[in-house]
Structures are given as structure tokens and as C-alpha cells.
Structure 1
Amino acid sequence: MEIELRQGSQVPVYRQIAEAVAGQIAEGRLAPGDKLPTVRQLAEETGLAQGTVKHAYDELEKEGLIEMVQGRGTFVRGREESASGGRKDLAMAAIDALLDRMEELGFSSRESEIFFSLKLREREEGYEQVRLALVDCNTEALSQMADQLSRVADVDVYQFLLDDVLDAPYKIGDHEDLVITTSTHFHQLSQAVGGRCRLVRVVLSPSNQTLTALARAPEEGRVGILTASDKFGRIIRRSCTALGIDGGRVDARLFGEEGVRSFVEGHPVLILPPNYNRFCSKEEGEWVRAAARAGQTVIRYDYLVDGGSLLAIEEQIEEVRRGKKGR
């Protein structure tokens, strides 16, 4: 498979790869069912980082042009013949998913329309986004960081679990402008990715509203911590201890485990990630909402980038942006 990269182009390298493959599919040079080179093979052929090639393949899969099958390889997907189906159905499904996500974040239909128009205008003008890679040890903190930093104008945010990056450092490559991680993981991540990335360290801490809610929690009865990962559960438990909540009355459970319903119903105080709906089943979410309606105390544990770190990130983003405009 021939991939010709345009040196000095404002189009990101991963996007050039995706466009080249998409063009060969459209021209029929790659037929449905054809097997594409592996990420490693194509990286060796082009001299690029494996993470860059993986990013391109991920984009092609999102567009419905290829399919990555675990243990078998990557294949060109079959074309849809119906004008009312195929790519149109994929596009409508993608838009529905986007609108659902915007509603989850609390944006109105009008606000979603404005943001969509802005993004289209940026693409038409060839404006290159600042790409942020967020790295942390648990999904809950990553998700909250992503929500917070996505509100910064003109950035694309990608999330990576620390263990995944340590196992495969190539996942973070030359397509990220800034790599953001906590002070806890900064040294470890720096050793893994070397000088290939511009690392920024931040401090995460519970919000004042969360600390106030914990301090005002009833002093009697069991306290239940319900999370998607043990690591985030331990973060919440440390806050409870710091605020004088007796560790003997604190229990923890993970979404998806057996007995979640009885756990929710049996704990007058529940502490969860603020965006817990992303990590639980529909039934589990309803059990939590039913508990709140029944008068149980439900505390959402906001774990956010602190103000000083946020200002530092914004300064770094602006510096990257100026560099892009000067190229």
C-alpha cells in the first residue's frame, strides 16, 4: 500500500495517512475484504511512529471505511449500495451520538449547533487544533479532566490510561502537542516517553463543593463509595479519612460487580464520580437515582485540575497555538 506524505503540510500526518487510504478505497485500488498492513508494518514502511499510524486507523474505523478485528488484522469494509443507507446511516448515527454526548455535558440544542458550526468553519479554514493527550491511572479522573479541558477553545482532547502508555509508549507520539499528567505520574511518564513529548504536570484535587458535601455528610450510618476503578475509590477514601469520616464505616464497590443494588440501598450515604452514568449500566444508574429520590445522601466527587494548573495549561496551549500560526 503506497502512502505519499506531504512534508510541510498543515494537515496532520495521521490525517494524511487516513486520506490516502480513503482515496485508494474510493478509487477501487483497495477492495472490500482487502487486508491492510499492520500498524507496525506501516510504521516501518513510512518511518513514522506506531502511534501515528494507529491514530489514522482509528479515524478510518470511525468513518466506517475499515474494520479492525482482534487477532485477525485490519480489513477494508464492504461498500453499501443503498443511497439511503451505508455512509449516510453511519453519518446519522455519528451525529446522534455527538448530540447525546452534548446533552450529557449539559449543552442545549442551540449551543450544540453553535459549536458544530464553529468546528466546520475551522476545518474549512484549515485551522489546526491544539491536541492534548491526558494521562492518568484511572478512567474517572481522566474523564473529568477531559470534560474540564474540552471547554478550552480550539483543542482536541485524547485520553490514555497510564498503564497502557507504560506498556506501549508509542501510543503517544508526534501527533500530540501537549501531554498532561499529574505530579504523581510525571516522572514515570517522562521516563517512558523520553523527550518525544512536551509534558505538563498538573495538580488534581476535590472541588470545594465536594469537600463541603463530605464534611456535611450524616455522621451515622454506612458510607458507600461506588466507582469504576479501585484507584479512584482509594482517592475518595483518602478524602473521607482527611475529613474525619471513620474508615470503619466506609465500604467500596465497583460498578458491574454483583450486589450493586443492595449496596446502593444499604448505604445512607453514597459517593460517586460526577459523571457516573458513563461507567455504570442503565439499571445501576436508575438504582442510584432512586436512592436520591428516597432521601439518601448522594455526593458527586468532583476531582478537578486546580486553578493554578489550569492557568499554566492555558498558557502552554497559547504558546503552541502561536507556534502553529508561525509555521
Structure 2
Amino acid sequence: MTFNLDPNKPIYQQVAQQILQDIKEGKLRPGDRLPTERELAAQLGVARGTVKKAYRELADNNLVEVIQGSGTYVHSHRQGAEGEKRKLAMALLEETADRLDLWGFSPEESLNMMRIVLDKASPGEKTLRLAVIDCNPESLAIFKKQLLYLPGVSLSLFMVDSIILDDDPRALLADFDLVVTTETHYDQIAQSLAGFGKKLLKVAMAPSRHTIVSITTLPRETPIGIICSSNKFANLITEQLCYFREEEKSYPVNFETDLQSTIGFMGRYGAIVVSPDSLLFDKQAAGDALDRYRQQGGRVIPFDYLIERGSLIHLEEQVGALMEEKYHLPETL
């Protein structure tokens, strides 16, 4: 027998599951003798107790039979295999659900993620075209990064101006299954797409928890600089800095047109708030500039402006519903 084991998962469960698979595929036949606990433990490089636990689980489900003084044999009644497989699957799902709950995911979020995993495993090429609209390139890049995990979704990014200034924005977006924009721009986009037959979805955006904590824990006297690519993203960062620091002021901004100039700008401030796609995070381009800045006591705060949790759940549900409608799929959950 050969085993492929993942050290990040319970070894005994994997051993039991792979023996079960060999029984199902006929590689192990009724009456076949399994290696002794000592032999298999030595083969796998695991404790003998791990193998004992795997064999006990198989025996408890009538898949193998332990004969004292003789060995462990594949049970002559194969009907137990389906029940064992289902039991192992339920145990795995329960373990996964407990872990997701521990990580703070709601039951609704866990169900959505399970649907996404099942969609990925579904055969056939199924694609949903999704257009994302916002007013600055930094936010669009964050959108794309945040939504990459959705299976079968092809993302296209549009600036707000490219929609509202187009002669026929409905024709421009006609091939898309879903159009997503922020609450800030929803009314403006809805007006431009009046009569648009496709679904238009608005999502709420907010700084990530990590970004908020990093901003609010900065000492009041810390001089702060902003580094980004567009004026609109700089205004967004300024608005959030004023809100969370409870002060009305402007902050100096460096637009990343020249990397050396940006590195020089950074050195003049005790903290910098940076767009997540900044070249400063690219070691090939910026070298160890950020590491040196941090070693000198500087604080680097990536400004992650993300789809809020409730909006993300709703978006996942809409994507799933549209995929089912488009490809006539049965509901996975």
C-alpha cells in the first residue's frame, strides 16, 4: 500500500481514508491482510498508536477485522464501506465547521464558502462576467484582489468616468452578467444605465480592521504622509484619517510618479499611509526601502479599503444565483 499524507491534517484519519479508498477500488479485497501496526508505522514514519487508531476506526465500522494473534484483515462484508465513508465525511465537515466558527465566520458565510468550493469542483467550463466600477485605480485593484477567490468569475474593471462619459454605457456593459459598484457611485451609475436589463449591485466599502487599528493607535504627534497614485484615493485616505483621528486637517501626499522621490518623501514622516498596490511593496523595484524605514522607527500602514462583510456575503449569493440561472445548475446547498 502507498500513502500520500498531508502533515497539516490528522494522520490517522488520512490512513483510514486511504485504506477505505483501496477497499472501494478493489485494491484491497475481502480477506486481505493489512500490515501490522508496527510495520505500517515504520513505513509511514509515525507512532504505532496512530496506526492503531486508524485500524480501530476501520474496525468500529466493520471495514476490517482484528484477529488476535493473527492480524488485521479486510472484512468480508463490503457494505460497510459506504457508511464509513459517509461517517468520515461528516466528521471532516464537523471539524471544518468548528474551525470556521472559531475563526469568526457566521453559518451563512460558511455555507457560501462551501458553495464556492463545490462550484470549483464542478466539471465543465462555466464563466460569469462581472464588471466592477469605481472612481480610482487603487480601489479597483483592491476589488480585483478581494474577489479573485470567486470560482468561474471573469472580472473587468472600469473607472466611473469611462461609464458616465460613454455615448452608450448600456452597450458597453451589455455582455456582463453582473455590474458592481460602491454605494458612493451607485445612483450615478444607475442613472447612466437607466433601462439597463442587467443586474446592478451596490456594495459598502470600509477600511479593514487592521488599517483602522493602525491609524487609531498612532501617537497624536506623529507626522503622517500619504503615498498613492490618484488624487481621489488620496482624498479617501485623508477623509478616513480625519474621521478616525478626530481632527480636521490636510495631509501631505506623494503621487508615485518617481520611486526615488517617493522614498525620499517617506523619510520625512513618522508614519505613511500607502495604497496596497504601491511599488514600495515590490522588493524587486524598491529593494529594502521599507525595511530601512521601519528600522528607523517609521510606521507603514497599507490602506486596505475593502468590501464590507455583509456586502461580500450578498455578492457571493448573487454570483451563485446567477451561475445557477445561467447554466441551469442545481442548488449546491
Q: TM-score, normalised by structure 2?
A: 0.56
Q: Write the distance in 1 (CA, Å) between the matches of 2:280 and 2:159.
A: 16
Structure 2 gaps of 5+ residues are 1-118
Count of aligned residue pairs for this structure pair: 207
Greater CA drift, 284-293 or 294-303: 284-293
Deviations 1:25-60 (A, max 9, x none): xxxxxxxxxxxxxxxxxxxxxxxxxxxxxxxxxxxx
Could you tell me whether the CA contact under 8 Å between 1:221 and 1:249 is conserved in 2?
A: no
Deviations 1:192-231 (A, max 9, x none): 2231431000000001111111011132232001011111
Q: Against the structure 1 CA distance between its residues 147 and 217, is the aligned structure 2 distance closer, same or farther, given a 3 Å change threshold?
A: same
Identity of aligned residues (%): 27
Could you tell me whether the CA contact under 8 Å between 1:182 and 1:201 is conserved in 2?
A: yes
Q: Write the distance in 2 (CA, Å) between the matches of 1:239 and 1:220.
A: 17
Structure 1 gaps of 5+ residues are 1-117
Q: Write the distance in 2 (CA, Å) between the matches of 1:311 and 1:204.
A: 13
Compute the RMSD of aligned alpha carbons: 2.8
Could you tell me whether the CA contact under 8 Å between 1:135 and 1:180 is conserved in 2?
A: yes
Q: Write the distance in 2 (CA, Å) between the matches of 1:148 and 1:252.
A: 25
Is 1:270 the counterpart of 2:272? The answer is yes
Q: Write the distance in 2 (CA, Å) between the matches of 1:221 and 1:249.
A: 14
Could you tell me whether the CA contact under 8 Å between 2:238 and 2:250 is conserved in 1?
A: no
Matches within 5 A, 1:98-177: 126-168=124-166, 169=169, 172-177=172-177
Q: CA deviation at 1:316?
A: 0.8
Amino acid paired to 1:145: F
Q: Write the distance in 1 (CA, Å) between the matches of 2:326 and 2:281.
A: 36
What's the secondary structure of 2:202's corresponding residue?
strand
What's the secondary structure of 2:221's corresponding residue?
coil
Q: CA deviation at 1:245?
A: 5.7
Give the structure 1 partner of residue 208 of structure 2: 207
Q: Write the distance in 1 (CA, Å) between the matches of 2:271 and 2:217.
A: 11
Q: Against the structure 1 CA distance between its residues 285 and 220, is the aligned structure 2 distance closer, same or farther, given a 3 Å change threshold?
A: farther
Give the structure 1 partner of residue 217 of structure 2: 216
Could you tell me whether the CA contact under 8 Å between 1:223 and 1:269 is conserved in 2?
A: yes
Deviations 1:271-314 (A, max 9, x none): 01223239989655753443224321001111100011011111
Matches within 5 A, 1:1-327: 126-168=124-166, 169=169, 172-194=172-194, 195-244=196-245, 246-248=247-249, 250-256=251-257, 259-277=261-279, 283=285, 286-326=288-328
What's the secondary structure of 1:181's corresponding residue?
strand
Deviations 1:8-37 (A, max 9, x none): xxxxxxxxxxxxxxxxxxxxxxxxxxxxxx
Q: TM-score, normalised by structure 1?
A: 0.57
